[in-house]
Amino acid sequence: MNLALSLDRAGRDDPGRPALGVGARVLRTYGETAGRVARLAGALQRLGLKPGDRVAIAAKNSPDYLEALYAIWHAGLAAVPANAKLHGAELGYILEQSGARVCFASAGLDGEIAPHAPQSLERLISIGSAEHERLFAADPIDVIPRGGDDLAWLFYTSGTTGRPKGAMLTHKVLAAASAAYASEVDTVLPGDPILHAAPMSHGSGLYMMAHVMNRGVNVVPESGGFEPEEIFALFRAWPRTSMFAAPTMVKRLVECPAECVSGNIRTIVYGGAPMYVEDARRALERFGPRLAQIYGQGESPMTITVLTRGKIADSDHPRWSERLASVGRPFRAIEVMVADEHDAPLPAGEAGEILCRGDTVMAGYWRNPEASAATLRGGYLHTGDVGAFDADGYLTLKDRSKDLIISGGSNVYPREVEEILLRHGRVREASVIGRPDREWGEVVVAYVVGDAPAADLDALCLAAIARFKRPKDYVFVEALPKNNYGKILKTELRAMDARRAASRVAE
């Protein structure tokens, strides 16, 4: 059941087929990639790592990312891919909480991690360094057998407490999610490329497995990230290319004046946040019927509902606009329910919490039995998202009961920002909300009681948390809206912010 078997078998059965690309060129074949992975796995084993041990990857997109991930699995270990945009202190917490013994880090990022590395971390290996290259000189080993329920990927996702939790994704979970992608979202044929412009530590990386299983090509831009002009050039260079993108990325592609060979695009899969209907319409006009939408969470990776290419393109349907505003229907292999506060199912049209269960749902949270029991009570994943089904089974998201902010496809939980702001001696109270934004989906806004300079608060945030979590606006007020028990009323605060925004527009 080890996920590494698919790469190992491709290396043996189809060694000459392209496996990895950088920019417009093929970097390595399946035979070359599988050989390097087997040797890197041998090196990890020689370091004394045992099956089940955790190895972290804190890296920007690169072909080395895929090799490190598959070598970890090949050696029977569990991967801890961490967001490379996080602050060194945040990465240090993930390394400590996961108990990772080794961490592969991008050049430069290793220096940010080092001051915060826990004692449990035995090696911090800079990708591309001489130390990293020497690992590939080790003798190759056979794939270490693993069961379907063995841990493969610890996906760290922030919680309402402000501390990240590690969602335990097993080999079975990732195999099921990969099969769902290939059968319901995007058919992958041998040689089909996927372009990794979004982080490989999150959504884009979760689609690596489906492409390896079907012997596609995993391609990384030369820049390692998302530059619209470069993406269009790669669409021209790689026929039948697919790409995962946050809605903000799709919007930037639509607005980019570069030449678009839409016939070379297989699928643009968007997710991470709902897309404005008007933006989806414009994307369809630019790219044609090549859009698909998914809704998922780290706890059920990329696999709760899907709005297929056919449904998005079916503009003749009388309810097309409503469907375009939805996140589609449940994947065939997962059961999805909208429930009331007692976890009882609600009829179509009524909003409640979205629950799901199936083979794509995590096994629980790493070393957190209380959170696992609460989130998986009754056998269902409690997403914390609020939505409603229509009569045809299409799910529309309404709100997020956990106050999650999604800005540019990245998750921001208000409390972790609030805790940083409250460190300032001249901040008495702080409450963070998401403000709707056409470009980013939402932007982070902090309402502050106190007289701390906004520049000081900015500096405080930049010293402790990732830049994308920093508030884009600070609003200083005399008091925050509260109920009789002193709890801040975020719903009222969001309404107050909307009124404030409307009055500024009127001026």
Task: Check residue 187 and report its DSSP letter.
Answer: -
pLDDT reported for residue 401: 64
- Is 264:238 a contact under the CB 8 Å cutoff? yes
pLDDT reported for residue 141: 98
The number of beta carbons lying within 10 Å of the beta carbon of residue 316 is 6
Instruction: From first to last of the 507 residues of the chain, give the pLDDT tens digit.
Output: 999 999 999 999 999 999 999 999 999 999 999 999 999 999 999 999 999 999 999 999 999 999 999 999 999 999 999 999 899 999 999 999 999 999 999 999 999 999 999 999 999 999 999 999 999 999 999 999 999 999 999 999 864 445 889 999 999 999 999 999 999 999 999 999 999 999 999 989 999 999 999 999 999 999 999 999 999 999 999 999 999 998 889 989 999 999 999 999 999 999 977 787 888 999 999 999 999 999 999 999 999 999 999 999 999 999 999 999 999 999 998 999 999 999 999 999 998 999 999 999 999 999 999 999 999 999 999 999 988 999 999 999 876 666 778 888 887 878 789 879 988 999 988 999 999 998 899 999 999 999 999 999 999 999 999 999 999 999 999 999 986 546 688 889 999 999 988 877 666
Burial label for 108, CB within 10 Å (0-12, 13-18, 19+), is exposed
- Is 113:83 a contact under the CB 8 Å cutoff? no
**What is the set of domains in the chain, with CATH numbers?**
4-389 (3.40.50.12780), 405-506 (3.30.300.30)
pLDDT reported for residue 415: 78
Cα–chain center distance at 250: 16
Mapping DSSP onto H, E and C, the string for 140-162 reads CCCCCCCCCCCEEEEEEEECCCC
Task: Check residue 97 and report its DSSP letter.
Answer: H
pLDDT reported for residue 158: 60
pLDDT reported for residue 162: 59
- Is 243:231 a contact under the CB 8 Å cutoff? yes
pLDDT reported for residue 159: 46
* Gap between the Cα atoms of 485 and 477, Å rounded: 20
Q: How many helices (H) and strands (E) does the chain have?
A: 18, 24
* Gap between the Cα atoms of 506 and 267, Å rounded: 41
